[in-house]
Chain A
Amino acid sequence: MKELRHRFSSGFFIILALALLIFGSNNTPLLDRIRSGVVDIFVPVLDIASRPFEGVNDFIDWTRQVAIVFSENNRLRAENSQLQKAQIKASQLAIDNQRLKKLLNVGEGKVKIIAAARVVSDSDSPFFKSVLINRGTRDGVKKGQAVINEDGIVGRIISAGRSSARVLLATDINSRIPVKLASNGVNMILEGDNSLFPRLAFLPMGGKPVIGNLILTSGYGMVFPHDLLVGQVIKTDEEGIRVKLSAKLYNLNYVSVVEYDITRPLPPGGGGKSRRTEKK
C-alpha cells in the first residue's frame, strides 16, 4: 500500500513537472506573476547573502587600485590634457549639431533614469543568462526597460515584480540589440548566443567590421538610448563576428534601469509644443 502511494505521488509530480515544462514555456501572465511573486520573497534573502561577496570583491578591487595608483595617475594626467583640447572642439560641434537638428526637425532622444539597482542574484547557468535586481514595479521598473552600468549596456528587463526584476543579459540566446559601428554608423544587430562574446548579425553589404572596431547602440527599437558603448570587435572569421562587451556581465554590482523616449519637435508654426512618439 505504502509502495503504491509512493509510486502514485512520484508519478503525479513527474506529470505536474512535465506539464509545467511544456505549458510554462508560453510565459502566460499568470505564471509570470507567480514567478515574480516568488522572486520578490527571496530577493531580500539573496540581497543579504550576497553582501559578503560584495565586500570581498570591493577589497580585491581596492588592493588592485592601490597597486597601480602611480602609473594610473601619470596616464590620467596625459589623458586629461588631451581631453581638454578635445572638449573645446566638441562643444563647437555640439552647437552645430543642435542647430542642424533643429533645421531638420530631428527627434531628440530623452533618457530617463528610472532606478539604480543592486544585482543580487545570477542565474549561473550556461543556458540562461539573467540576473535579478532589487528594484521592481514600486520603483517604476517595467518590462522592456534598458539596463546599463558605467561601462556600457547590460541587458533589458524581462519581468518585474513589486520589489525585484529580472534582467535578460546581452549575452543570452534570446537577446537582440540594435547596434552600429562607431566608425561609420553602419547598423546591425548584436545577437546573444549564451557565449561570453555575442555575435554581430544582419550586416549590410560592405559594412564588415574589423578587429578593434567600437560598437555602440543605434537607438533603434526604442529600448537602449543611442550611442551607448556596447563593446569592441575581437574576432572576425567564418564563424561570425564576435564582440567583447565593455560591461563585465559576470561581475555586476550596481546597475541603472533607464527608459528611452524620443520627443520630436513640431515643425515651426505647429503650436510650439513638442509631441512624443508612441512606444511600441
Chain B
Amino acid sequence: MIGSENRLERGAEKGLRGVLPFVTTLGLVLLMQLQYRLSFLDDLFPFLSLVGVYYWSIFKPRLMPVSVVFLLGLLQDILSGGPIGMMALLFILVRLFVIRQGRRFLEREFLFNWLVFIMVSPVFGLATWAIASLYLKESQNIWNIFGQSILTIVIFPLVTSALGWVRYLLADENR
C-alpha cells in the first residue's frame, strides 16, 4: 500500500517535472511580451523563446515534442500580434535542425552549444525578416534583426544558466 503511494507520488513529481521545459519556455514567451519602457529595446528585444526552444531541444527533446514547440510558437504569434504561424514554423525548423545534428553532437560543453547558437540566431532573425517582409509586402529594416540576433547571442549564457538550473531538477528524469 505504502509502496503504491510512493510510486503515485513519484509519478506526480515526474509529471510536474516533465512540464518544466514547456513552462520555462512559456515563461520566456511571456517575458517577451512585457513592456520594458526602454526605447531601444522596443526594436531590439532578444528572442528569449528561441533560446528556450533550442536549449530544451538539445537536452530534453522528449519533453519538448514538436506539438509543444508548435503551440509555443503559435502562442507567441497570437500574443505579439504578428502573423499567425510564423514563430510556430520557425521554432519547429530550429527543433528539426537540432534533432538532425544528433544528441551526442550538441550535448557537449556550453561553449560548443553557444558557437552553434551564434549561427542559429542570425539565420532565425533573417527568416523572421523575410517572412515579415513578405507578409507586410514591403522590405523591412534588416539592421534591427541583426541587433536582435546579437542581443540574443549575448543573453544566451544568462538564459541557459537559468534553464540549466531547471534541468538540474530534471536530472533523474529519463529522456
Contact = CB atoms under 8 A, between A and B. Distances in A.
Given A21-B131, A121-B33, A121-B79, A126 B84 contact: no
A50 interface: yes
Interface residues of B, number: 51
Interface stretch (B37-45, B116-124, B165-173): B37-45
Contacts, number: 145
Given A25-B83, A45-B30, A38 B144 contact: no
B135 to A, nearest CB: 6
A123 B89 contact: no
A174 B84 CA distance: 17
A31 interface: yes
B140 to A, nearest CB: 5
A10 B66 contact: yes
A35 interface: yes
Interface of A: 6, 9-10, 13-14, 16-22, 24-25, 31, 35, 38-39, 42, 45-46, 49-50, 53, 57, 119-128, 130-132, 166, 173-174, 194-196, 248-252
11 contacts: A9-B65, A16-B85, A121-B33, A126-B148, A127-B140, A132-B33, A196-B39, A250-B35, A250-B38, A250-B42, A252-B35
Interface of B: 30-39, 41-45, 65-67, 69-70, 73-75, 78-86, 88-89, 92-93, 95-96, 99, 128-129, 131-132, 135-136, 138, 140-141, 144-145, 148
